[in-house]
Homo-oligomer: A and B are copies of this chain.
Amino acid sequence: MRKEYEVLDDFLHSKGLRHTHQRKKIVDIFLSTEKHVSLDDLFKLVHKEDRTIGYTTVYRTMRLLTDCGLSNEIDFGDGVSRFEHKFGHEHHDHLVCMKCGRFIEVVKQKIEDLQGRLAKEHGFLPTAHRLHIFGICKRCQSRGASSKG
């Protein structure tokens, strides 16, 4: 069994929360995608498998997953929150393609270090940061045309 389920089980147990088949399905589907999904994306995926599960339950479950550290909520500034896997995933920044909408995960340790130094220079105690670079991805540059995905 994936470690993710242990984390969730522990969290549920420690808080006196319950296992439900709705939660199980939603978690399964979330863990089975490697994309940066919005609530709407996720609800659609869930709905295909089980028409009885409501949007609100998806909403609440993602909140739960975020609380227990399995999910990370990101705001790319387009008015919609997205969720990505957090457990077992290191911190990373994103290149956001304005043409196809893909999010490319990147890490540059030197930038991370310099951010820490920058904060320090201002006597600022950093707890989190968000770096998004917007532009056109490699694929969208070669193809002139657009292609959502």
Which residues on A are within 8 Å of B, measured CB to CB?
75, 77, 95, 97-98, 104, 106, 108, 110-111, 114-115, 117-119, 122-138, 141
Complex-state Cα separation, A97 to B127, whole angstroms = 10
In the bound complex, residues from chain B placing their C-beta under 8 Å from that of A133 are 115, 118-119, 124, 126, 128-129
Q: Which residue of B lies closest to A115 (CB)?
A: B133
Contacting pair A123 B138 (CB below 8 A): yes
Copy number in the complex reads 2
Contacting pair B138 A128 (CB below 8 A): no
Given known A-B contacts A110-B114, A114-B114, A118-B106, A126 and B134 have beta carbons under 8 A apart? yes
Contacting pair B124 A136 (CB below 8 A): yes
